[in-house]
Amino acid sequence: MEEEVPRVQLTERAQELVRRLRAQHGPLMFHQSGGCCDGSAPMCYPDGEFRTGGSDVLLAELDVSGVAEPVTFWMSRSQYEVWSHTRLIVDVVPGRGSGFSLEAPEGVRFLTRSRVVDA
């Protein structure tokens, strides 16, 4: 039996940062809008702080060891149409991302890498 390839996954570095942010801010969520610059990076918010709607797609409910509840990962529908054939790998890199994302004061930012998946 083949294992299903996860739609979204977090690297170990991203999981560690999610655990730290969860301890500071409570339950979390991600949203990737597809706008220019930082808008195309995954943004981390306290769960429910970013309002999602019909123009967004829930791609995953991520289980992170040490985090009690799933961390949802949303993407704007228009961005999803472009990335629907990929697996998204959320990583952490040095640098300052958006001031709206919770990791901004940490001196790092979340970054999405992608891999094409079989149809």
pLDDT digits (tens, 9 = 90+) for 53-65: 999 999 999 999 9
Burial class (CB in 10 A: 0-12, 13-18, 19+), 116: exposed
* CATH tag for 8-116 (out of 2.60.300, 3.40.50, 3.30.70, 3.10.450): 2.60.300
pLDDT digits (tens, 9 = 90+) for 66-109: 999 999 999 999 988 888 888 999 999 998 766 689 998 889 99
pLDDT digits (tens, 9 = 90+) for 23-41: 999 999 999 987 655 457 8
The tokens 């991203």 sit on which residue? 14
Q: How confident is the model at residue 114, as a pLDDT?
A: 87
Lowest mean pLDDT among 19-23, 48-52, 98-102: 98-102
Cβ pair 54, 76 in contact under 8 A: no
Q: Where are the domains of the chain?
A: 8-116
Q: How confident is the model at residue 1, as a pLDDT?
A: 45
β-strand pairing of 8-10 with 86-94: parallel
